[in-house]
């Protein structure tokens, strides 16, 4: 097991290296230049001033030199500084990860709880009216554009009823609240975003769960369990559910990188300062160091997530051995 782990971890390094070369090449080949300074298309900003800034950022060097410089810094865990505001890339990413991670974790837990329950209960009542209405419900959530649902809810709950804040993650007076009030304040702000993102994600897990469960319920060992007179509850929750949950573990492992990824539309609408907005704005401004930083972290997490999925699979399923 340890040897397997080591082998996989070492294998990640060349893979990661390859990914950085490709992404570095692609973002530099894409048309457009860093606009940190010329975004406003301002005649007060002279050509000379812009060239000087490009030089200070090292953009006038050949591409391979720029890449080597970047790798050298990366080896010291230095992702460089942003072209837009000259702040360290790590700092810019670090201040946004907790928010995105928090929202994604909360909505993932919600999706798991509700999605698994819907999946199991639908499978048990396969083909019933309940099953079919749940199908419609989760697909409605899947099909509904997030921005539309978000705006409607903000208008009704936030503006008309005035019971939840419209956007943002904290109140203006947050710093003066007591701890308990602060927790409630954040919860009130996150209620709508978490609901909206969870509603969209229900379909995936619940459908997976349902089809696994339907499949498992037809197995011989379930018939055996029923035949020996176990209560239906025990049959479903002890024997069937455990087996049906196995593939969900894989999905969870694969969704690890998604935890730090945010959606720009979603974050813009709720004005949440998360990773999606950071990445989108960086791409639009051709802020190469930030783009590379986010991509490297994303790639690393994807590779680790895959590994994690494999390991946890082996851990929960005795039939699988990693060598």
Partner 1 sequence: MITYLKTISRIKTVFLKAVFLFGVLAVMGFRPDYGDAIVVGAIGEPRTLIPIMASDSASGAICGLIFNGLVKYDKDLNLVGDLAKGWDISEDGLEITFYLRRGVRWQDGQPFTARDVEFTYKGLVDPRVRTAYSGDFKMIKRLEVIDDYTVRVLYKEPFSPGLSSWTMGIMPEHLLKGEDLNTTRFARHPVGTGPYRFRLWKTGERVELVSNHDYFEGRPYIDRYIYRIIPDQATLFLELRAGGVDEISLTPLQARRQTQSRFFKENFNKFRYPSFGYTYLGYNLKDFRFRDLRVRQAINYAINKEEIIRGVLLGLGRVSTGPFIPESWAYNKAVKAVKYDPEKARVLLKEAGWRDLDGDGVLEKNGRRFSFTIITNQGNGERRMTAEIIQRRLKEVGIEVKIKIIEWSSFVSEFIDKRRFDAVLLGWGLSRDPDMYDIWYSSKTKEGEFNFVGYSNPEVDRLLLEGRRTFDRKERTRIYHKIHRILYHDQPYLFLYVPDALPIIRKRFKGIKVAPAGIGYNFIKWYVPKAEQKYIR
Return the bridge partners of 81, or none: 88
- In the complex, minimum distance from the CB of residue 155 to partner 1, in angstroms, rounded to a whole number: 6
**Residues between 142 and 161 that touch partner 1 (CB under 8 A):** 151, 154-155, 158-159
Is 134 a binding residue for partner 1 by CB under 8 A? The answer is no
Tokens of 175: 């710093």
Is 284 a binding residue for partner 1 by CB under 8 A? The answer is yes
- Cα 272 to its chain centre, rounded Å, is 14
Among 49, 109, 315, 316, binds partner 1 (CB under 8 A): 49
Nearest to 169 by CA among 100, 258, 87, 260: 100
| CA gap 256, 302 in Å, rounded | 7
Sign of the Cα torsion 219, 221, 222, 226 reads positive
Is 305 a binding residue for partner 1 by CB under 8 A? The answer is no
Is 293 a binding residue for partner 1 by CB under 8 A? The answer is no
Q: Which is nearer to partner 1, 43 or 127 (CB)?
A: 43
Considering CB under 8 A, how many residues would be counted as binding partner 1? 61
| CA gap 161, 37 in Å, rounded | 43
Candidates 1-9, 62-70, 112-120, 267-275: pick the segment binding partner 1 (CB under 8 A). 267-275
| CA gap 104, 120 in Å, rounded | 23
Is 39 a binding residue for partner 1 by CB under 8 A? The answer is yes
**Residues between 207 and 246 that touch partner 1 (CB under 8 A):** none
Is 76 a binding residue for partner 1 by CB under 8 A? The answer is no
Q: What track of x and - describes contact with partner 1 for positions 175 through 214 (by CB under 8 A)?
A: -x--------------------------------------
CA dihedral (33, 273, 289, 76) in degrees, to 10, reads 170
- Asked if residue 79 lies in contact with residue 73, where contact means CB atoms within 8 angstroms, the answer is yes
Q: Which is nearer to partner 1, 159 or 227 (CB)?
A: 159
Q: How far apart are the first and last CA of the chain?
A: 6
Q: Which is nearer to partner 1, 85 or 234 (CB)?
A: 85
| Three-state secondary-structure class, residue 88 | strand
Is 47 a binding residue for partner 1 by CB under 8 A? The answer is yes
Q: Which is nearer to partner 1, 136 or 175 (CB)?
A: 175
Q: Which residues of 28-46 are buried (b: 16+ CB within 10 A; e: fewer)?
A: eeeeeebebbeeeeeeeee
Among 272, 291, 294, 309, binds partner 1 (CB under 8 A): 272
Is 269 a binding residue for partner 1 by CB under 8 A? The answer is yes
| Three-state secondary-structure class, residue 302 | helix
Q: Which is nearer to partner 1, 176 or 321 (CB)?
A: 176
**Any idea what DSSP says for residue 160?**
I
| CA gap 191, 84 in Å, rounded | 32
- Residues near partner 1 (CB under 8 A) are 30-33, 35-53, 56-57, 81, 84-87, 92, 95-96, 151, 154-155, 158-159, 162, 165-170, 172-173, 176, 267-274, 277-278, 284-286
């Amino acid at each position: 097991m340890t040897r397997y782990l080591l082998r996989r971890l070492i294998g990640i390094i060349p893979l990661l290296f390859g990914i950085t070369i490709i992404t570095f090449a692609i973002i530099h080949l894409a048309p457009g230049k860093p606009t940190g300074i010329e975004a406003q298309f301002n005649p007060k900003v002279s050509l000379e001033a812009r060239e000087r800034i490009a030089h200070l950022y090292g953009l006038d060097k050949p591409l391979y030199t720029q890449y080597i410089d970047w790798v050298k810094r990366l080896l010291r865990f230095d992702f460089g500084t942003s072209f837009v505001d000259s702040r360290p890339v790590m700092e810019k990413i670090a201040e946004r990860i907790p928010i995105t991670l928090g929202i994604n974790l909360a909505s993932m837990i919600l999706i798991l709880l509700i999605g698994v329950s819907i999946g199991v209960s639908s499978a048990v009542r396969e083909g019933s009216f309940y099953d079919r209405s749940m199908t419609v419900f989760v697909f409605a959530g899947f099909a509904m554009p997030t921005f539309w649902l978000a705006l409607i809810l903000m208008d009704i709950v936030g503006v008309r009823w005035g019971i939840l804040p419209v956007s943002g993650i904290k109140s203006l007076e947050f710093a003066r609240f007591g701890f308990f009030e602060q927790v409630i304040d954040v919860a009130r702000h996150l209620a709508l975003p978490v609901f909206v993102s969870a509603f969209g994600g229900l379909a995936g897990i619940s459908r997976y769960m349902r089809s696994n469960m339907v499949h498992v319920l037809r197995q011989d060992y379930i018939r055996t369990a029923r035949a020996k007179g176990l209560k239906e509850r025990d049959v479903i929750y002890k024997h069937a559910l455990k087996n049906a949950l196995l593939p969900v573990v894989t999905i969870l492992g694969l969704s690890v990188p998604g935890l730090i990824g945010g959606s720009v539309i979603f974050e813009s609408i709720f004005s949440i300062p998360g990773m999606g907005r950071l990445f989108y704005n960086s791409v639009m401004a051709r802020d190469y160091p930030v783009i590379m930083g986010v991509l490297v972290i994303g790639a690393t997490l994807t590779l680790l997530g895959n590994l994690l999925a494999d390991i946890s699979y082996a851990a929960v399923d005795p039939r699988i051995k990693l060598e």
